[in-house]
Amino acid sequence: MDSLLMRLTDVAFGIPFLPFVIVLITLTGPSIWNIIITISVLMWRTTARVIRSQVLSIKERPYILAARVSGATHLRILYVHILPNVLPMAFLYIALGIAWATLAEASLSFLGFGDPQMISWGQMIYYAFLTGSARSDWWNVLPPGICITLFVISAFMVGQAYEEVVNPRLRDRR
């Protein structure tokens, strides 16, 4: 099962993100749910690789062997020993995924593939460039660009703060 899932991940890594998303949005239509599903189809690739490597590393630690020797079932080892050690990294990658998904949606909207019924920061910049006002009226481009930047930075900072809370070695750095 592990080999099959990793080959599926390898195939997913072979698909270029932005062209694939543009093709899928063109085929399915520009709605917010289609955009969310399409972005989610390829966003899991890196997270799956990192979480798998973390699980394989934890699986070989001495306390897992001690749990096996003491008669713990596979489910108990998974839920009591492996999952608590993997969840902090999973939450960190969720926070990073939110930032990357926001950038992907803004990119799609800027390219004109966003949902025309919803207002987004990328669509605001798209319309400023479409009307030609981006060259003369900076107030049409700068606020949405700053909002995208601040949101992405805040998502990265939330992920970093969560990692510091969960990882005691990072708390002692200061």
Q: What is the pLDDT of residues 33-55, one digit of tens each?
A: 988 898 888 888 888 899 999 99
Measured CA to CA, the distance from residue 39 to residue 45 in angstroms comes to 11
Q: State which CATH number among 3.20.20.70, 1.10.3720.10, 3.30.70.1450, 3.40.50.720 fits the domain covering 2-171.
A: 1.10.3720.10
On whether the CB atoms of residues 147 and 153 are closer than 8 A, the answer is no
CA–CA distance, 125 with 148 (Å, rounded to integer):
11
Cα 42 to Cα 158: distance, rounded to the nearest angstrom: 23
DSSP 23: H
Mean pLDDT of residues grouped by 10 in the chain (174 residues)? 88 89 89 88 88 91 91 90 86 87 91 87 89 82 92 89 76 62
What residue spans define the domains of the chain? Answer: 2-171
| 8 Å CB contact between 146 and 124 | no
Measured CA to CA, the distance from residue 163 to residue 98 in angstroms comes to 16
Q: Are 53 and 47 in contact (CB under 8 A)?
A: no
Cα(149)–Cα(142) distance, integer angstroms: 10
What's this model's pTM, rounded to 2 decimal places? 0.79
